[in-house]
Amino acid sequence: MSTVTPRAPAQRPHQAVHPRTTGRTAPFVLNASILAALLAASSAPTPLYRHYQDSWHLSALTVTVVFSAYSLTLLPALLTTGALSDHLGRRPVLVGALALEAAAMVLLAAADGAAALIAARVLQGAATGAATSAAGAALLDLEDPRRPGRSALTNSIAPLAGMAAGVLASTLLIRFAPAPTVTVYVLPAVLFAAQAVAVTFTAETARPHPGALRSLRPRLAVPPPARRALSAVGTGLVAVWALGGFYSSLGPALVRLVAPGAPQTAGGMVFFTLTAAATLTAWTLRRTAARTVAAGGSLAVVPAGALTLGGLHGAGLPAVYGGAALAGIAFGAVSQGALRMTLASLDEQDRAATLAACYVLSYLAMSLPAIAAGAATQHYGLRTVAHAYAIAAALLAVAALAALTASRGGASDPAHHDLP
């Protein structure tokens, strides 16, 4: 992680404003719901990709560009606004970002072609990048001393649950609601507007301090202890988020290749299977040592890819769904373990920026390989690309397992009893 540099130690003028324990629950739930809603909105278009592709005659590359426009815009937003809420406060950043998110939903509902979809996804990525680090840092600010580790756990589970809920809700709306390409986006727009209003009534959890403009300079600021943990587990994060990008962008096309007669909803449900399994895994393993969880998740990537490829060699949709479930187990385990390892020894003033760095690495891994796969599909076909993708993810996972094993002796591991 040579591009990750620590913050200058001289600038530490503020401390978080800790609300009374009895006043933590409502704002904690609100910020967790914001994280979940943001990721639900990001995954909501997945079941619609086949509809867009058929209606507008889009290529696989165009579909992956639409998918990745969100992630590639989210990255510079994280790099520039990741630490902004440390200076301005969580509330103003969240209110502004949620308003932009609602506007992006309206644009998605009105889209009439690939260009309009890409523009709306760009706005969505910018808004999500500003909001996720602020909401995640607010959750850390609201840590309950009686339940240590709950904030880090929620930061890992809420996005996974949101992605699962977004795909499931979108799939159901496509099946049962009128004008699904509108309804899928209008409902989140209303939710984001309501959340923006609710945030204005919560207490500020960070003490604003000077340096907001300076914080907008693109950089990744990770303090040394978190940097060591991220270096050990980073390859595993790349492997599982790359798999997530494949299933999200090309999963519907893979289902169509394996089972041409399957209903449209079957494509979106592949990514739901992955994210639902990831959510259950992150929750189930919350008491297991973080390093062990991350190592086990990395190990699960190999059979996940093999099972998915089995679907292309006669095993059919059950193998594809089984591979997605195993990929979800890997995704949930590595994501949860990585966040717990990285956030374990953070000072309050480093929270938002460090979360932003984790998101940058994750979304780079989710978007760039998906774009490359979409482009390669044009020349080599999805069957060949799926094999290459699975092999690359397996190699990354093996490298991650080796890095975690090598670093075990020199790094602390959050105790398994630190979580509620």
Nearest CA to 113 among 57, 70, 174, 67? 57
CA atoms of 43 and 250, how far apart (whole Å): 13
Provide the b/e sequence for 187-197 (b: ≥16 CB within 10 Å).
Answer: bbbebbbebbe
**Would you state the pLDDT for residue 332?**
93
Instruction: Give the gyration radius of the chain's Cα atoms.
Output: 20
- Contact, 415 vs 289, CB < 8 A? yes
Provide the b/e sequence for 260-295 (b: ≥16 CB within 10 Å).
Answer: eebebbbbbbbbbbbbbbbbbbbeebbebbbbbbbb
**Would you state the pLDDT for residue 46?**
80
| Cβ neighbours for 13, distance < 8 A, ≥ 6 positions apart | 209, 210
**Would you state the pLDDT for residue 212?**
65
- Residue 305 has phi, psi (to 5 degrees) of -65, -40
Phi-psi region of 219 (alpha: psi -120 to 50; beta: other; left: phi over 0): beta
**Would you state the pLDDT for residue 412?**
47
**Would you state the pLDDT for residue 11?**
39
CA atoms of 59 and 314, how far apart (whole Å): 26
- Residue 187 has phi, psi (to 5 degrees) of -60, -45
Burial of 123 (0-12, 13-18, 19+ CB in 10 A): buried
CA atoms of 323 and 315, how far apart (whole Å): 11
Q: Evaluate if pTM is beyond 0.75.
A: yes
Structure tokens at 57: 């005659």
**Would you state the pLDDT for residue 349?**
62
Alpha helices by DSSP H, 311-381: 317-343, 351-380
- Contact, 377 vs 299, CB < 8 A? no
> How many alpha carbons lie under 13 Å from residue 340 in its C-beta half-sphere?
32
Report how far apart the first and last C-alpha atoms of the chain are (Å, whole number). 31
One digit per residue, the tens of pLDDT, for the chain of length 420 reads: 333 333 333 333 444 455 544 467 899 999 999 999 999 998 888 888 878 888 888 887 888 888 778 878 888 887 787 677 777 788 899 999 999 999 999 999 999 889 999 999 999 999 998 898 889 888 888 887 777 778 878 888 898 899 899 989 988 888 888 888 899 999 999 999 999 999 999 988 877 777 667 766 766 667 777 778 888 888 999 999 999 889 888 888 899 899 998 887 787 788 899 999 999 999 999 889 989 999 999 999 999 999 999 999 989 999 999 999 999 999 999 998 888 888 776 666 666 677 777 878 888 888 888 888 888 998 899 999 999 999 999 999 999 999 888 877 544 454 443 444
- Contact, 341 vs 233, CB < 8 A? yes
- Residue 5 has phi, psi (to 5 degrees) of -120, 145
Provide the b/e sequence for 391-420 (b: ≥16 CB within 10 Å).
Answer: ebbbebbbebbebbeebeeebebbeeebbe
- Contact, 98 vs 182, CB < 8 A? no
